[in-house]
Amino acid sequence: CALHKEKPLVVGVSGGPDSLCLLHLLHTCGYSVLAVHVNHQLRPEADREEEVVREYAKNLNVSFIHTRIDVHQFAADQKLSIEESARILRYRFLMDVAEQHQAQAVAVAHQADDQIETVLMHLLRGSGLAGLRGMPYRSTLPVFSKTIPVVRPLLGIWREEIVEYCEQNGITPCFDASNADSRYFRNRIRNELVPLLKTY
């Protein structure tokens, strides 16, 4: 991902296993990290997740920056889905923090299972070669920032490996119950299509 240890690095931390693993790994490797959490206020456990990230950042002696956003209002105003609205607001805040702290990049915790789901989503919706390549380890999202890249250090790591890493390092993550909600397109791919494809 071409990162430099001496420059600030914003890490998006939700409180789940992927993002806590990412924060722990980068901190352990000596990177100057800022733990940034966005509370979407969409689920009853959202405040608890915010506190988990706050306490974990404190234990690592890492700066903790957070915000709370009204996803429902933004979705209604912009006539967008809840998923897309949450993504837009989340990246806006991450990039704002990165600019304020002159960070070299925003690190997010996409991993190998996410990559498979993303490629399948693109395939099913109709995609050219760019979509079928999936997410790169490093990219720029011009709609959010033309200069600050997004990096995905865990993109080659499987979800089960991340869970095992958390267990081995005493990391107790939150698990998002909404990941089982099949009303969301990605969840249907994760929970129904991918297990079926694995039988072939």
* Cα 169 to Cα 164: distance, rounded to the nearest angstrom: 9
pLDDT tens across 107-139, in order?
Answer: 999 999 999 999 998 898 887 777 788 899 999
- The pLDDT-based confidence of 56 (bands split at 50, 70, 90) is very high
pLDDT tens across 4-41, in order?
Answer: 998 999 999 999 999 999 999 999 999 999 999 999 99
Q: Are residues 26 and 107 in contact, defined by beta-carbon separation less than 8 angstroms?
A: yes
Give the pLDDT of residue 131: 72
pLDDT mean over 170-179: 81
Structural tokens at position 12: 């998006």
Give the pLDDT of residue 162: 97
Q: How far is CA 62 from the centre of its chain?
A: 18
* Cα 130 to Cα 119: distance, rounded to the nearest angstrom: 10
What's the pTM? 0.91
